[in-house]
Amino acid sequence: MADDATVPDLSVEFAGIKLSNPLLLASGIADETGASMARAVKEGAGGVVTKSLSIQPRQGHPNPCIVEVEGGLINAMGLPNPGIEGFREEIEHYKKKTRGRAPIIASVFGSSIEEYVEASTLAEGLGVDGLELNGSCPNAKGLGLQFGQDPVVIIELVREVKARTTLPVLFKLTPNTHDIVTLARAVQEGGADGIVAINTLQAMKIDIMTARPVLTNTTGGLSGPAIRPVGVRCVFEMARAPDIRIPIMGVGGISTWEDVIEYMMAGATAVQVGTSISWGNLNVFGEMKKGLRAFLMGTGRRSIKDITGLAAGVGH
């Protein structure tokens, strides 16, 4: 191995959260238990995001709630989770296993601003390093998506949460909008420390033999490689808006180191990896790190930080 001076630096800081590399495990994938989240770190993730947690436990939707389509998955799990308190042991196990090497961000949601605030303070009590407000679940009635599509509600939601926590607060934005930049401005105006983009795209699949929707929820959220160009465009649009100064975490269809570079060039400071892991190997993190280092070395760069926003000011 080359000596330290020539090994490119993959570390980044996102909204005050220090990461040894810019790759995080995305919410909802392989994050059911402390052990599975710790495994992602062992394989090379710089941090993890928990599954979305609510104050009370939730069962979620009956099967079928996930279907594979070309280029991705459509899911409508209905935000099943054991409740914030029910997840305490998993977080403790994670922290014991990873010993501060990789921050853990709690994804939280509620059915009102008050519930988001209470969920956030309860999650802070679990000893996490940051909060990701899931303001964009497309599947659960009265939850998430309505909050995430209205800039006025976003401002108030973020402001209320920020007033009650000392943790960095990130807001996960939906692409199911005609203007993601306006939503991003609302996130910043509310006082959030960072933006996460994108959540899943509303989609559906019909079984042509029965003429019925496959998912019990009828529609669901599309994730996977098919949505990457949408995510890259969203990150690019937000990054090149001169008044948006908070950092952006890119997510949506990332499965190779080239995808990571693409999101970072569009303007992301860090990224999350989800659906590509649900297809099998957690060692994508290790492979991505190797690819990122080789790319930096091959292009004469010392730090991954130099990639962020390279293309963001360069539109035609």
Instruction: Give the catalytic positions in this structure.
Output: 137
175 binds ligand DHB (CB under 6 A): no
Instruction: Supply φ then ψ for residue 250, to 5 degrees.
Output: -90, 140
Q: Which is closer to ligand DHB, CB of 47 or CB of 220?
A: 220
Instruction: Supply φ then ψ for residue 165, to 5 degrees.
Output: -140, 155
Location of structure tokens 């952006």: 248
Q: Which two tokens stand for residue 139?
A: 């599947």
Using CB under 6 A, which of 50, 177, 200, 275 touches ligand DHB? 200
Q: Give the other-Cβ count within 10 Å of 258's Cβ.
A: 13
HEC string for 267-288: CCCEEEECHHHHCCCCCHHHHH
Could you report how far apart the first and last alpha carbons of the chain are, in Å? 41
Location of structure tokens 């980044």: 12
269 binds ligand DHB (CB under 6 A): no
Binding segment (CB under 6 A) for ligand DHB, from list 14-22, 82-90, 131-139, 281-289: 131-139
Binding segment (CB under 6 A) for ligand DHB, from list 130-138, 258-266, 289-297, 307-315: 130-138
DSSP letters, 145-173, are HHHHH-HHHHHHHHHHHHHH--S-EEEEE
199 binds ligand DHB (CB under 6 A): yes
Instruction: Supply φ then ψ for residue 189, to 5 degrees.
Output: -65, -35
170 binds ligand DHB (CB under 6 A): no
Cross-strand bridge partners of residue 271: 23, 250
Q: Give the other-Cβ count within 10 Å of 134's Cβ.
A: 30
Q: Which is closer to ligand DHB, CB of 22 or CB of 221?
A: 221
Give the shortest CB-75-to-ligand DHB separation in angstroms.
Answer: 5
Q: Which is closer to ligand DHB, CB of 53 or CB of 161?
A: 53
Give the shortest CB-170-to-ligand DHB separation in angstroms.
Answer: 14
Give the shortest CB-253-to-ligand DHB separation in angstroms.
Answer: 13
Q: Which is closer to ligand DHB, CB of 79 or CB of 261?
A: 79
Rounded CA separation 310/267 (Å): 7
Rounded CA separation 183/180 (Å): 5
Letters for 207-236 (x = contact with ligand DHB by CB under 6 A, - = none) are --------------x---------------
Using CB under 6 A, which of 98, 120, 134, 188 touches ligand DHB? 134
Interface of this chain with ligand DHB, residues 44 to 103, rule: CB under 6 A: 75-79
The closest residue (CB) to ligand DHB is 221
Give the shortest CB-199-to-ligand DHB separation in angstroms.
Answer: 4
Q: Which is closer to ligand DHB, CB of 177 or CB of 200?
A: 200
Using CB under 6 A, which of 21, 139, 176, 177 touches ligand DHB? 139
Q: Are strands 12-14 and 206-207 parallel, antiparallel or unpaired?
A: unpaired
CA distances 264 to 48, 83, 173, 275, Å, are 18, 33, 17, 19
Closest CA to 139 of 201, 70, 231: 201
137 binds ligand DHB (CB under 6 A): yes
Residues that bind ligand DHB (CB under 6 A): 75-79, 134, 136-139, 199-200, 221
